[in-house]
Structure 1
Amino acid sequence: MSVAYQSPPARPGVPVSDPVPPPAPRAAAPSADLEIKDAHLIFSAVWADLLERHPGDVRFPNEFIWLGGAPGAGKGTNTPFIARARDITAPPIVISDLLTAPQAVALKNAGQMVGDREVIGLLLEELLDPRYRDGVVIDGFPRTKVQVEFLKLFYHAMLGAGARGAHKPMFRIALLFVTEEVSVARQLKRGRVIREHNAQVRESGIGELLEERVTDLDPGLCRKRYKGFKDTTFDALQSLRQIFHFHFIDAEGDLPEVQRNIVREFAYQSSLELSPEVFALIQNIPIATELSRHARQELVRRLEQYERDAPDVFRGVVALIESKLLPIVQAHAMSGHTQINSEEALLDDPVALRMMIDVFSERGFHVTVDLHRVEIPARVDPQTWEITCRTKKVFRIEIRYPPSDIRRGH
């Protein structure tokens, strides 16, 4: 369902126009159809209310970062860093804070529930604040399939305006991910720290008490919260991977490591920032981070294929590594670097050469190979003294690996 309304004039920021929602999946399950229908109804109602309150003056930010993460993933800790990485100066919009805003409290006091429609209405109203005009981080949205569908409708409404000359909206999904074990450990640690803090405040009378969440004190409840995230929010965010620029951020390390991951994830933005014409020319060249992300799966696939398609060659390569190359590598184990010159005829086969590199890679080594051709005199014509040479192929194999931690004392 779309909403007909008069488009506001083009002004700084991103104006909006008639929403152009994507078609619902033809073979969707009944529950999915119902959620899509609910999202369309909610979007239509909220949009109409918004336009009625702000006739001719509906402008949204140029850049949106929709941030999600498991309990204990560090959204609150890393949100300011993410904003700085994208030169966003406005404070983040935290969905949980919107639920305690005066508008939400008024709804609760009037006996009304604060559901998806109310949350979306509060969010769109907040996004109209001029301080978010250049960009904003939204912490904790979307979390449900209805909210995901709303996000698509919202984006297509803005994209429709962009087709007529306005700025293209920038939607980015950022997911801070940790495993269940890390999530539970961090939740319990947070509970212990808050409980210790509150004990000191009560004893000294100095400071303010912090909220003690029951879910931060019970391992079973911590795991239940994580399961809820995986079953609902994680799947909802993953469904947007093929639509918006998606940042999957490993948040399990210490703070400096996580922030390095954030910088790396946000370093490449061409699909959103380049013009459609330029991006169309280069889009088939893979992004380096995506290439490396799937490298392990591709390596495993190739090794399995070697065994199926060329088992004799594969076994010959493994025998070569074990009998001739590995002893040299082990002799240089302290340095983490080995160079080997080899004239093995087996390596003349490009497939065998690739097998050797892949086998070493699977075991954690980094291998490069250069082929050098050396001209060797073979015979001399006694009448003309003409020298005939043969070409000798020398494979220069460079192998790198972590050096030994043992160092000689000084």
Structure 2
Amino acid sequence: MSSEPTGPAKPAKGPASGKPKAVVHDLEIKDAQIIFHSVWNELEQDLGDDMLRFPKEIILLGGAPGSGKGTHTRFIQKTRGLTCPSIVVSSLLTSPEARKVIDAGYMVGDREVVGILFRKLLDPDYRDGAILDGFPRTEVQVECLKLLVDKMKELRARFFETPLRVHFRQPTIHIMVLFVDEKTSVERQIKRGHQAEAHNQEVRTTGVGECVELRPTDLDPKAARRRYQVFKEQTWEALQSLKQTFFYHFVNAQGSVAEVERNILNELRYQSLLELDPQTYDSLRNLPLASEIILHARQDLVKRLDAYELNQTKLFHQVIGLIQEKIMPVVVRHAISGLATVNIEDPLLHDSEALAMLIDIFSERGYHAVVDLHRIEIPEQVDLASGDISCRQKKVFRITIRFQGSEIRRG
């Protein structure tokens, strides 16, 4: 009895093998007002509004995956004088649910991020300033940030006339975006993944050192590309929307570490108008900047010297003679060190014009001269009946001259 040949078995319906893929559902409320006030009310109830002391300066460090946020954070800290470690938002999200979402290449819900982050910012270590790596990443987080700054200003106004006002300073918010294109981002992510994989393998083989984090997206180009797309579609738009609200710094991070550091330095140069409290700035603004007074310093020096020669010839030449006879011999003996100090009691220097001439003459000759007046009381007479001592005052002018000394090669 013959049988007809049979074809290949048809696959059964449904997945033949392996576990079904997890589907990430986003059912969270997306109303920033509701999320923010929920978090804020919890903080007020737990701590009290007088303890809601947020950092004076907050630098929001954003950027595409692989843009070098971790690499450049330490340089930014040094530039701004911040000593505390940066707050990496992803490292705060350690719950199993949060890790599951992150490993899939998506982002954790706004309510959880905002709640955990705001509490972290209240750590006293961050009182002067904090760098946030990875916040805000969504429009909801952007709005929560704006609401936070509004609350910080409200608290400042509320406590301004109290001893607690030192804890509620004018907030300064910087947005710093490190940007790379998609190709560079994916290449750097995969390179980082291979480096981490090789490092961890060496640690496991030798038992020396510690393994580093290896994210699933660091080894999968498709997942790495998805991370970049999430950045462009959500984080990039969120950060761009803050341009009109806070100090915004766009940094091209495509180049070498040194090139990116130069770009960062240019963006974060100190500007008193942007960083000081408005009242403080108004108090200081009439004092000239150093950059302003040196702008025409050379031309002004030439004018003064010519005026001395034309209008105060006798005094001018007396000062020149004093320098030649009493000061330059000492200066010459200190040619190697480039630093000389001369004490002079000559009454010529009692004239303030003569002092000004002396400083200008040294400046024109390439020296830096500083004059310090010492008044010394010299006892002259004692009243034996009353015990009173009569003194005369002696003026000693201590003149310090600095200049480029001579280099001596030894050996």
**Hey, what's the Cα distance between the residues in 2 that align with 1:51 and 1:129?**
15
In structure 2, the partner of 1:88 is 82
| Equivalent residues in 2 for 1:143-154, closer than 5 Å | 143-154=137-148
Change (3 A) 1:257 1:245: same
Shift of 1:211: 3.1
In structure 1, the partner of 2:151 is 157
Contact 1:96-1:140 within 8 A present in 2 as well: yes
In structure 2, the partner of 1:260 is 262
**Hey, what's the Cα distance between the residues in 1 that align with 2:56 and 2:278?**
17
Shift of 1:86: 0.7
**Hey, what's the Cα distance between the residues in 1 that align with 2:276 and 2:201?**
54
In structure 2, the partner of 1:135 is 129
**Hey, what's the Cα distance between the residues in 2 that align with 1:69 and 1:187?**
13
**Alpha-carbon displacement from aligned partner over 1:140-179 (angstroms, at most 9, x marks no partner):** 1100111000001011111233446452111111111111
Aligned residues: 239
In structure 2, the partner of 1:100 is 94
In structure 1, the partner of 2:45 is 52
Identity %: 53
Shift of 1:114: 6.3
In structure 2, the partner of 1:299 is none
Tell me which amino acid in the other structure corresponds to 2:33.
Answer: H
Change (3 A) 1:101 1:219: closer
**Hey, what's the Cα distance between the residues in 2 that align with 1:125 and 1:213?**
26
Tell me which amino acid in the other structure corresponds to 1:213.
Answer: R
> Which SS does the other structure have where 2:251 is aligned?
strand
**Hey, what's the Cα distance between the residues in 1 that align with 2:187 and 2:116?**
33
2:34 to 32, 41, 63: 41
**Hey, what's the Cα distance between the residues in 1 that align with 2:44 and 2:108?**
21
Contact 1:162-1:169 within 8 A present in 2 as well: no
Shift of 1:183: 0.7
| Equivalent residues in 2 for 1:97-246, closer than 5 Å | 97-100=91-94, 115-163=109-157, 165=160, 167-246=169-248
**Alpha-carbon displacement from aligned partner over 1:15-46 (angstroms, at most 9, x marks no partner):** xxxxxxxxxxxxxxxxxxx84xx110111111
Contact 2:54-2:127 within 8 A present in 1 as well: yes
Contact 2:58-2:130 within 8 A present in 1 as well: yes
Tell me which amino acid in the other structure corresponds to 2:116.
Answer: L
**Hey, what's the Cα distance between the residues in 2 that align with 1:61 and 1:212?**
32
Q: Does 1:75 align with 2:52?
A: no
Contact 1:66-1:141 within 8 A present in 2 as well: yes
Tell me which amino acid in the other structure corresponds to 1:41.
Answer: I
> Comparing 200-209 with 153-162, which one deviates more in the overlay?
200-209
| Equivalent residues in 2 for 1:228-377, closer than 5 Å | 228-274=230-276, 276=278
Shift of 1:101: 7.7
Shift of 1:253: 1.1
> Which SS does the other structure have where 1:243 is aligned?
coil
In structure 2, the partner of 1:64 is 58
Shift of 1:275: 5.2
**Hey, what's the Cα distance between the residues in 2 that align with 1:132 and 1:201?**
34
Tell me which amino acid in the other structure corresponds to 1:69.
Answer: G
Tell me which amino acid in the other structure corresponds to 1:39.
Answer: A
TM-score by length of 1: 0.54
**Hey, what's the Cα distance between the residues in 2 that align with 1:247 and 1:229?**
17
Unaligned 5+ residue runs, structure 2? 1-28, 100-106, 286-411
**Hey, what's the Cα distance between the residues in 2 that align with 1:187 and 1:243?**
31
| CA-atom RMSD in angstroms | 2.7
Shift of 1:57: 1.9
Shift of 1:215: 1.4
**Alpha-carbon displacement from aligned partner over 1:297-335 (angstroms, at most 9, x marks no partner):** xxxxxxxxxxxxxxxxxxxxxxxxxxxxxxxxxxxxxxx
**Hey, what's the Cα distance between the residues in 2 that align with 1:93 and 1:121?**
14
**Hey, what's the Cα distance between the residues in 2 that align with 1:241 and 1:75?**
20
**Hey, what's the Cα distance between the residues in 2 that align with 1:42 and 1:257?**
40
**Hey, what's the Cα distance between the residues in 2 that align with 1:247 and 1:182?**
20
Contact 2:170-2:277 within 8 A present in 1 as well: no
Tell me which amino acid in the other structure corresponds to 1:218.
Answer: D
Contact 1:67-1:137 within 8 A present in 2 as well: yes
**Hey, what's the Cα distance between the residues in 2 that align with 1:142 and 1:183?**
19
TM-score by length of 2: 0.54
**Hey, what's the Cα distance between the residues in 2 that align with 1:271 and 1:227?**
37
Change (3 A) 1:260 1:214: same
Tell me which amino acid in the other structure corresponds to 1:42.
Answer: I
Change (3 A) 1:226 1:45: same
**Hey, what's the Cα distance between the residues in 1 that align with 2:44 and 2:56?**
19
